[in-house]
Amino acid sequence: MAAGKGSRQWSNLPSDLIHLISTKLPDLSDRVRFRAVCKMWKSSVSVSDPSPCLPWFVSCDRDNTDEIVYYSLSAKKACKIHCPQQRNSFFHGTAGGFILSCQDSSPRSFSLFNPLTGLEISVPNPKEFGEFFVVSNPFQKDLVVIFGDAQDWDETFVSLIRPGDEAWVIGKLDMMLYERVCLWYDGMCYINEYGTPTSIGDATTRSVLSTVPPPPRETGPLSPRYMLKTCGEILLIFTHISCTYKFEEIYFTIYQLNKVGENYQWIKVRGIGDRMLFLDYIRSFALRASDFSGLRGNCIYFKKFDYGRLRMLLCRHDLETGTTEVLPNFSGDWSTWMIPNLSESN
């Protein structure tokens, strides 16, 4: 239809205004549709724009190993991606839009895989180690992994690999690792074991620099599950689980690392303000709710098990009210958070 008198073509909007509008779209799928309006909008907006992007909750489809299921928080629905090349693979975490995938074969085969672009980068097999997991923030492209010795678990290793590297950069830490509560930040490794003092180690010198006493013991078992860096603060998160014949009931206790004089200590906090926490099995990270329309802060996104239907559910816990709601239209098996990335390169 021809534009009426005095009207203006949407395609004639200034490119800087188009880009500004695109930064208000919280989900990558919204940006893809936005770019499809016309050539002008497409050229003004990059799919790899660094503006804040909501993570997707990514899960294997246990009924179809050729498919990956992702859940969009903004759309509140799940979609499937056909990935036959990942059949019979196990996922160990995500970083920079890639999934660290391990093929169930002998010997094991590893790759960094982007399910949106199909880009797959082979990485060397860390055959010296058994159990391992990703602890890096999913936004960063450097893939940081903590390894535990599969035989007697009496050694801890921190290892780094980037897409395209020919070998893992491996270093031994003078720390023990049992309960997998770890944080890698700015060359430092923070490890807490079963609620004991927290060890702070230098990944360069492979030595422990200091220890932090555990928080005061409250009623019931006190074992931390997550540690993360957010807004200049380090948080230690405890999960308290009560299982019924149908559901896991979960609530949280949060401590913040404060420096008092020359020493550090964990201080209990009642809320996290504008921040949203995202938890999977072993890893956590945070975003500001004010960066995204329609989301509220002081909340924790996590999964719990539905014993009645034998499936995982995605939930949101409100720290202010202490209530938990199940988010609609998602159920899965293995799952983790991924920052979607449509870039054709690593």
- Mean pLDDT confidence for 316-345: 82
Q: Please answer whether residues 112 and 317 qualify as being in contact, where contact means their C-beta atoms are separated by less than 8 angstroms.
A: no
- Please indicate, yes or no, whether residues 119 and 226 belong to a single structural domain of this protein: yes
Pairing of strands 181-185, 188-192: antiparallel
Mean pLDDT calculated for residue range 116-145: 70
Q: Which is it for the CA torsion 318, 319, 323, 327, positive or negative?
A: positive
Question: Do residues 24 and 89 share a domain?
Answer: no
Q: Is residue 339 part of a domain?
A: no
pLDDT digit string, tens, across residues 16-61: 888 787 777 777 777 778 888 888 888 887 766 666 678 888 887 5
- The total domain count for the chain is 2
Residues 193, 47 within the same domain: no
**What percent helix, strand, coil does the chain show, rounded to 5?**
10, 45, 45
Q: Same domain, yes or no, for 95 and 32?
A: no
Residue 159 and residue 301: Cα distance in Å, rounded? 28
334 domain-assigned: no
pLDDT at 129: 60
- Do 46 and 57 belong together in one domain? no
User: What pLDDT is attached to residue 344?
Assistant: 59
Residue 2 lies in a domain: no
User: Does some domain include residue 6?
Assistant: no
pLDDT at 203: 64
Q: What residues contact residue 192 under an 8 Å CB cut-off, 6+ apart?
A: 179, 181, 182, 198, 199, 214, 224, 227, 236
| Integer Cα distance of 118 and 20 in angstroms | 29
Same domain, 68 and 194: yes
Range of the domain at 324: 52-328
Tell me the β-bridge partners of 210: 200
What digits encode the pLDDT tens for the residues 214-243?
887 665 555 667 888 888 889 988 887 776
Same domain, 197 and 106: yes
Residue 226 inside a domain? The answer is yes
pLDDT tens figures, 183-194: 777 777 787 766
> pLDDT per residue over 255-278, tens digit each?
999 988 888 899 999 999 999 999
pLDDT greater than 90 at residue 301: yes
Would the pLDDT of 6 be above 60?
no
Distance CA 283, CA 130 (A): 19
- Claim to verify: residue 47 and residue 81 sit in the same structural domain: no
69 and 183 within one domain = yes
230 within domain boundaries: yes
**CA–CA dist 336, 97 (Å, integer):** 12
Rounded distance, CA 221 to CA 87, Å? 39
In angstroms, rounded to a whole number, what is the distance separating the alpha carbons of residues 302 and 327? 10
Whether residue 169 is predicted with pLDDT greater than 80 in this model: the reply is: no
Q: Pick 1 or 177 by higher pLDDT.
A: 177
Contact 316, 277 (CB under 8 A): no
User: According to the model, what pLDDT value does residue 67 have?
Assistant: 81
What angle in degrees, to the nearest 10, is found between the helix axes of 15-22 and 28-35? 150
Does the pLDDT at position 117 exceed 60?
yes
* 84 and 25 assigned to the same domain: no
- Identify whether residues 190 and 165 lie together within a single domain: yes
Distance (Å, whole) CA 62 – CA 64? 6
pLDDT band for position 204 (cuts 50, 70, 90): low
What is the C-alpha separation between 243 and 224, in angstroms, rounded? 18
Q: Write the CATH number for 79.
A: 2.120.10
**Is 338 inside any structural domain?**
no
Span 281-287, average pLDDT: 82
Same-domain status, 30 and 178: no
Q: Establish if 74 belongs to a structural domain.
A: yes
